[in-house]
Amino acid sequence: MLELKAVNKFFNGWQAVADVDLQVAAGELAVLIGTSGSGKSTTLKMINRLIEPDSGSIRLAGEDIRSQPPEVLRRRIGYAIQSVGLFPHWTVEQNIAAVPSLLKWPKARIRERVVELLELLHLPAAQFLARYPHQLSGGQQQRVGVARALAADPEVLLMDEPFGALDPVTRGTLQQELLRIQALSGKTIVLVTHDIDEALLLGQRIVLMDKGRVVQQGSAQDFLLHPASDFVRDFVGQSDVGVRLLGLDTVASRMRPLQPVSGEPIAASATLREALSAFVARRVSSLPVIDAQGQPAGVLHFADLLPVAA
Ligand SMILES: Nc1ncnc2c1ncn2[C@@H]1O[C@H](COP(=O)(O)OP(=O)(O)OP(=O)(O)O)[C@@H](O)[C@H]1O
Ligand SMILES: [Mg+2]
């Protein structure tokens, strides 16, 4: 779907992006992660031609992105930028409707789409449609930015730290929402983040950059179990590898058939990391498990946190 080959970018003779190769399959959610200044935003901006690479090629759906004018390309690519970048003199509705208006959608369809997106991002339309960006909190502005990027149902979504300014609760809700949107729409997404836990949660493919180069790419398991260097090991947090591995699996994957166990239940959809926390906080060694309907589904024992040896 999206393919970068040997992409380089220099600013005043200084190399910001070095020989980046990257492939994102259709429907895949790829996460670019790395320290500040490692070239993540520059890489993202080259995909929609906000920045032109000095060498290398970038293809979207098999086609070189230089084969069409930037403004045509950008209608196919939703972009939520790091600094939000809403138009200050436009209302929330006008901001979200920017691309559908350019595409000359009928007015009724635009309104319907804006309302749908606002509800999706937990901003009640009645309250927010007519507001201006300065009348929103930072986190609300960020959510409007995400809605704007999604508005015209683009083929590819580029998101540069879209949840950066949010509190952990709202961030968690929107991360789940993004996973849901992606599962439903099969959208191809490239998301930039600083947060290793966000990368492990969201990234079907994780791409770690350092000083403009890709130092490792692979699945969350690859990063936790087979870090390619000491830099990667430090980045994923050596001392937390165990709990982060637990974060990749759900209670449902390890629970046993129903047995009578008392106490406050845990959801089958919770991660094993959450289960570990529950074991320790409640000082118990077994937890009753309930399904999405709240019905008893099984039991999880503390020892079940350890994977069965292959
Ligand atoms: N227009 C520009 N002119 C000169 N240097 C630039 C320009 N844009 C970016 N850079 C430099 O290129 C490097 C990579 O920048 P980039 O914005 O891609 O980093 P990043 O990985 O997104 O960092 P952060 O996590 O802080 O957002 C930085 O050192 C930055 O100062
Ligand atoms: Mg950046």
- 98, two tokens: 């920017």
To test ligand 1's pocket by mutation, which of 41, 163, 193 has the most ligand atoms within 8 angstroms of CB?
A: 41
Cα 92 from Cα 107, distance rounded (Å) = 15
Last residue of a domain, one of 194, 214, 243: 243
User: Same domain, yes or no, for 263 and 287?
Assistant: yes
The answer to whether residue 310 is domain-embedded is no
Of all protein residues, the one whose alpha carbon is nearest to atom 25 of ligand 1 is 36
- Phi/psi of residue 194, each to 5°? -95, -15
Cα 246 from Cα 241, distance rounded (Å) = 9
Last residue of a domain, one of 198, 219, 243: 243
Q: Is 37 in the pocket of ligand 1 (CB under 6 A)?
A: yes
Range of the domain at 292: 250-305
Cα 263 from Cα 240, distance rounded (Å) = 28
Residue with tokens 């590898």: 241
Of all protein residues, the one whose alpha carbon is nearest to atom 12 of ligand 1 is 16
User: Same domain, yes or no, for 51 and 160?
Assistant: yes
CB atoms within 10 A of CB 158: 27
The answer to whether residue 142 is domain-embedded is yes
The answer to whether residue 85 is domain-embedded is yes
To test ligand 1's pocket by mutation, which of 4, 8, 38, 45 has the most ligand atoms within 8 angstroms of CB?
A: 38
DSSP letter assigned to residue 244: H
User: Same domain, yes or no, for 180 and 293?
Assistant: no
State the distance from the centre of ligand 2 to the C-alpha of 44, rounded, in angstroms: 9
User: Same domain, yes or no, for 257 and 117?
Assistant: no
The answer to whether residue 74 is domain-embedded is yes
CATH code where residue 177 lies: 3.40.50.300
Write the pLDDT tens digit of every residue in 99-130.
899 889 999 999 999 999 998 888 999 999 99
Q: Is 164 in the pocket of ligand 1 (CB under 6 A)?
A: no
The reported pLDDT for the residue numbered 209 is: 96
To test ligand 1's pocket by mutation, which of 31, 42, 195, 198 has the most ligand atoms within 8 angstroms of CB?
A: 42
User: Same domain, yes or no, for 213 and 188?
Assistant: yes
The answer to whether residue 219 is domain-embedded is yes
Q: Which atom of ligand 1 is found nearest the CA of 12?
A: 4
The reported pLDDT for the residue numbered 85 is: 80
Q: Are 22 and 4 in contact (CB under 8 A)?
A: yes
User: Same domain, yes or no, for 209 and 295?
Assistant: no
Q: How many domains does the chain have?
A: 2
The reported pLDDT for the residue numbered 82 is: 67
Q: Which atom of ligand 1 is found nearest the CA of 39?
A: 18
Q: Is 193 in the pocket of ligand 1 (CB under 6 A)?
A: no
Cα 27 from Cα 184, distance rounded (Å) = 10
DSSP letter assigned to residue 284: -
Q: For the chain, which ranges sit under pLDDT 70?
A: 82-84, 308-310
User: Same domain, yes or no, for 168 and 257?
Assistant: no
**Per residue in 14-41, is it b (16+ CB within 10 Å) or e — as a string?**
eebbbebebebeeebbbbbbbeeebbbb
User: Same domain, yes or no, for 81 and 202?
Assistant: yes
User: Same domain, yes or no, for 237 and 258?
Assistant: no
Write the pLDDT tens digit of every residue in 4-13.
999 999 999 9
Q: Is 41 in the pocket of ligand 1 (CB under 6 A)?
A: yes
User: Same domain, yes or no, for 212 and 294?
Assistant: no
CATH code where residue 269 lies: 3.90.1280.20
What are the DSSP calls for 45-110, one per residue?
A: HHHTTSS--SEEEEEETTEEGGGS-HHHHHHSEEEE-TT----TTS-HHHHHTHHHHHTT--HHHH
State the distance from the centre of ligand 1 to the C-alpha of 158, rounded, in angstroms: 17
Ligand nearest to the CA of 212: 1
User: Same domain, yes or no, for 86 and 218?
Assistant: yes
| Cβ partners under 8 Å of residue 280, min gap 6 | none
Q: Which class for 106: exposed (0-12), middle (13-18), buried (19 or more C-beta within 10 A)? A: exposed
To test ligand 1's pocket by mutation, which of 8, 40, 82, 83 has the most ligand atoms within 8 angstroms of CB?
A: 40
Q: Are 3 and 48 in contact (CB under 8 A)?
A: no
The answer to whether residue 294 is domain-embedded is yes
Of all protein residues, the one whose alpha carbon is nearest to atom 31 of ligand 1 is 37
Q: Which class for 212: exposed (0-12), middle (13-18), buried (19 or more C-beta within 10 A)? A: buried
Cα 76 from Cα 61, distance rounded (Å) = 11
State the distance from the centre of ligand 2 to the C-alpha of 259, rounded, in angstroms: 50
The reported pLDDT for the residue numbered 213 is: 96
The reported pLDDT for the residue numbered 309 is: 58
Coil, helix or strand at residue 129: coil
User: Same domain, yes or no, for 141 and 206?
Assistant: yes
The answer to whether residue 229 is domain-embedded is yes
Last residue of a domain, one of 209, 224, 243: 243
The answer to whether residue 9 is domain-embedded is yes
The reported pLDDT for the residue numbered 134 is: 92
Of all protein residues, the one whose alpha carbon is nearest to atom 27 of ligand 1 is 36
